Amino acid sequence: MATEAPLAVARGVSGLSMFAAFVLKEAKHVLRDRRSLLILLGLPIVMMTLFGFALSNEVKNTNFVVLDRAPDASTLGLTGRISESNYFTFAGRVQSEAEINDRFRRGDARLAVVFPADFEHDLRHLGHAQIRLVADASDPNTASTVSNYAAAIVAQYQAELAEGSVGPGAIAVETRMLYNPQLKSSYMFVPGVMTLILMLLGAMMTSVSIVREKERGTMEVLLVSPMNPLILIIGKAVPYLVLCLIDVLIILLLSYGLLDLPGGANLPLLIAESLLFILTTLTLGLVISNLVQQQQTAMFVSLVGLLMPSLVFSGFMFPIENMPLPLRVISHLVPTRWFYLIASNVMIKHLGFAAVIQPTLILAGMTLVLLFIAWRTFKQRL
Amino acid sequence: MTEWVIEAENLTRRFGAFTAVDAINLKVAAGEIFGFLGANGAGKTTAMRIFCGLLEPSSGRATVAGFDAMTQSEQIKQRIGYMSQKFSLYGKLTVKQNIRFFAGIYGLSRREVKQKTGEIVERLGLTTAADTLVDELPLGWKQRISFAVATVHQPKVVFLDEPTGGVDPIVRRQFWDMIFEASSRGVTVFVTTHYMDEAEYCDRVSIMVDGAVAAMGKPAELCAEYGVASVEEVFVALARKATRHGD
């Protein structure tokens, strides 16, 4: 047939321009869809700010009250010492145990320091005295943090009083928190938040955008066209890959600029690992889009089906070591677990590639398996 | 000798126990406007999807532009245009962007894309609306743009699945003027429709009942054969015998 030759020639050249046309169209869609764009770029900013500042599990400026039946130099000194610290704010004196209860119930104090009447006397003459710390344990985590801080201040005060007179057998405990010396939680959240954001956006955005084409009927037209379905798949992934990388950059900028994450991490390694994880989430989105027919379903599956396990099994919120065996086994199948491990090792512990080879290989393996599943489930013929 | 552009021999498609298309035979000549009629659920869309390579036949044979629909769907795809029943342009892109995109994925060179885009915009009288989002246009315009897009790569055959649903007779007539124009350039048009006045515009029609072709021929011949005045009456006479009911 006479028309054979020109068509065949044209085809080889046009693969690239088809791809260009597709990516261009996809990019226009992303840029025009202000709402999605807002989610894509706003989510990391909102989450970083929330986790970094508002949801910090650090305890600062906790109100405390003092029940002091016989104020004297020692009790006043210790009270002063506690109120000077960043962690506590002096919220007045109370006269009875009942009043402590009252203040706790009203919520305007979370800790009470109770001095016995003979505090100074015991301290001077017996060499030891007792004080009681009463904490509002309706929030157990805060209560234990708060009482630990107060106890530490008391111990320090005591050590100063006994300067030079530490007898044999006295053990001074010095605790050092490695990698996060000030126990600042704000940047501890960074690897976790990054993991969640990439998982959510990568999987949800790709799956929704592919399923949208199915729903609108444009998918049919694309499949009838001579365009290779591989172009469709890669063309869908490229814009979201770029957007996810922008998100990674936003997160890094906020971490170093705003949350004072200590520098020294291997950033090229971190970005390369993020790229790998983004590929994992995009392929996951692809698999979802092959299995569902409606945008709503795609969104639901990504949110409930991915976000929940990602949150629970990443080790970011709940320690995996404390889980029962079946859950620990399941956690191995969750990609976020491995990326969280990589991200926290690289960002917080400043480890190099050698330390994250194993999770990297696991993540790469998962991506290949998902890619295979995506390929097998892709229905070129509807 | 007549060049047959679409041929079906005992073409059958089953979904489980349900036979959507039941051993149909038909031939469509080059340049013909072929009306593929039938009640809802008669199997029109299924048959059309087989011709377009979107579905595989369960048995029988279909060839389009000389290529086998089962094994050579890639060659077929380069020679056909398709306009689906669902309105299928990108609503969030402008008219120009849509034309450029579809021309691009049909493999036209950049120069051709540019030239074609200008041509279509002018031919449809859309110069002022060229940069409007497709979502903001009336349905009739969208349908005409869809048709222009489906024929942008000068296919041998264009498949139209209920292209004029939901618009008034004047707009439908405008659409058919585009079909006549394409046909005069030698494009074969294979069209399904619900509107029996449109059936009269076709060179030949077939009427499907329960997955099988119940009648086929020129509209005038069919009317004579059934002793009625219009294709509509032929259709009603045949559709009454149907046991299957559409959705």
- Per-residue pLDDT tens listing for chain A (382 residues): 334 333 433 444 567 788 888 998 988 888 888 888 888 888 888 888 887 766 655 667 888 999 988 888 888 888 888 888 878 889 889 888 888 888 888 888 889 988 888 888 887 777 777 888 888 888 777 788 888 888 888 888 877 776 655 444 445 555 555 655 555 566 778 888 899 889 988 898 888 888 988 888 888 888 888 888 888 888 888 989 999 999 999 999 988 888 778 888 899 999 999 999 999 999 999 899 888 888 888 888 888 888 888 888 888 777 788 888 888 888 888 999 999 999 989 988 888 898 899 999 999 999 999 988 888 887 654 4
Q: Which of B154, B173, B188 is the last residue of a domain?
A: B154
pLDDT of residue A377: 82
Q: 3-class DSSP state for residue B109?
A: coil
Distance CA A370, CA A313 (A): 19
- Which of B119, B139, B154 is the last residue before a domain boundary? B154
List CB contacts of B169: < 8 A, sequence separation 6 or more: B197
> Strand A62-68's sheet: what is its strand order?
A88-94, A62-68, A111-115, A132-135
| Cβ atoms of A132 and A69 closer than 8 Å | no
pLDDT score at A14: 65
- List, as own/partner pairs, every contact residues A34-40 make where C-beta atoms lie below 8 angstroms and the sequence separation is at least 24, other chains included: A36/A205, A39/A201, A40/A201, A40/A205, A40/A243, A40/A247
Task: For B74-202, list the strands marked E by DSSP.
Answer: 80-83, 157-161, 188-192
Whether residue B71 sits in one domain with residue B99: no
d(C-alpha A349, C-alpha A32), whole Å? 40
Domain co-membership, B9 together with B50: yes
Chain CA centroid to CA B174, Å? 16
From CA A363, how far away is CA B76, in angstroms rounded? 40
Reduced to 3 states, what is the DSSP secondary structure of residue B55? coil
> Are both B72 and B161 inside the same structural domain?
yes
Q: Is residue B25 part of a domain?
A: yes
Q: Are A186 and A56 in contact (CB under 8 A)?
A: yes
Residues B68, B144 within the same domain: no
Residues of chain B with pLDDT under 50: 247
Q: For residue A81, what are its two tokens?
A: 């010492």
What is the gyration radius of the CA atoms in chain A, in angstroms?
29
Q: Are residues B93 and B162 in the same domain?
A: no
Cα–Cα dist A345/A30, whole Å: 33
- B172: domain CATH number is 3.40.50.300
Beta carbons of B6 and B47 less than 8 angstroms apart: no
> How far apart, in whole angstroms, are the C-alpha atoms of residue A230 and residue A227?
8
Q: Using CA atoms, how far apart are residues B114 and B39, in angstroms rounded to an integer? A: 41
User: Residue A358's pLDDT is what?
Assistant: 94
Provide the residue type at A238 as one letter. Answer: V
Could you tell me the domains of chain A? 24-55+186-377 (no CATH), 62-161 (3.40.1710.10)
Q: Which amino acid is at A366?
A: M
- The answer to whether the CB atoms of A18 and B105 lie below 8 A apart is yes
With CB atoms and an 8 Å threshold, state whether A11 touches B93.
no
Residue B134 belongs to a domain: yes
Both tokens of residue B169?
């007779």
Query: Would B149 be classed as within a structural domain?
Result: yes
Find the closest chain A residue to B158 by CA distance: A224
Same domain, B61 and B15: yes
Q: What is the pLDDT of residue A324?
A: 87
In this structure, the answer to whether residues B14 and B122 fall within a common structural domain is: no
Cα(A192)–Cα(B170) distance, integer angstroms: 61
Q: How far is B75 from chain A (nearest CA, A)?
A: 8
- Provide the residue count of chain B: 247
Residue B86, classified by CB atoms within 10 Å of its CB into exposed (0-12), middle (13-18) or buried (19+), is: middle
In this complex, do B97 and A25 lie within 8 Å of one another by their Cβ atoms? yes
Spatial separation of the C-alpha atoms in residues B109 and B121, rounded to whole Å: 18
Residue B84 forms part of a structural domain:
no
- Tell whether B198 and B238 lie within a shared domain: yes
Token digits of residue B35: 């009306």
Domain boundary among B154, B174, B191: B154
DSSP secondary structure, A306-323, as one string: IIHHHHHHSSSSS-GGGS
My answer on whether B94 and B42 are in the same domain is no
Same domain? B206 vs B95: no
Contacts of A21 in chain B (CB under 8 A): 100-101, 103-105
Rounded Cα–Cα distance for residues A112 and A104 (Å): 9
Q: How far is A12 from chain B (nearest CA, A)?
A: 9
DSSP code of residue B133: B
Residue A4: per-residue pLDDT: 38
- Do B210 and B179 lie in one domain? The reply is yes
Residues of A with Cβ-Cβ distance to B54 under 8 angstroms: 220, 223-224, 381-382
Which pair of structure tokens corresponds to residue B203? 């060179």
Q: Among B54, B92, B103, select the one facing A223 at the smallest CB separation.
A: B54
Contact between A227 and B82 under an 8 Å Cβ cutoff? The reply is no
The whole-angstrom separation of Cα B238 and Cα B91 is: 39
What count of CB pairs under 8 Å joins A to B? Answer: 95
Task: Give A 199-258 residues with CB within 8 A of chain B.
Answer: 216-218, 220-227, 231
For residue B6, how many other CB atoms are within 10 A of its CB? 24
Q: Which domain holds residue B7?
A: 1-79+157-247
SS (H, E, C) A67-86: EECCCCHHHHHHHHHHHHCC
Residues B165 and B231 in one domain: yes
Q: Does residue B172 sit within a domain?
A: yes
Q: How far is A22 from chain B (nearest CA, A)?
A: 7
Q: How many CA atoms lie within 13 A of B149 on its CB side?
A: 30
Q: Strands B33-38 and B188-192, how do they pair?
A: parallel
3-class SS at A43? helix
Beta strand pairing status for A132-135 and A111-115?
antiparallel
Asked whether B78 and A1 are in contact (CB, 8 A), the reply is: no
Rg, C-alpha atoms of chain B: 18
The pLDDT value recorded for residue A163 is: 64
Contact B93 A224 (CB under 8 A): no
Of A13, A24, A217, the CB nearest to B87: A217
User: With an 8 Å Cβ cutoff, are B109 and A11 in contact?
Assistant: no
Is A171 in CB contact (< 8 Å) with chain B? Answer: no
Total of domains in chain B: 2
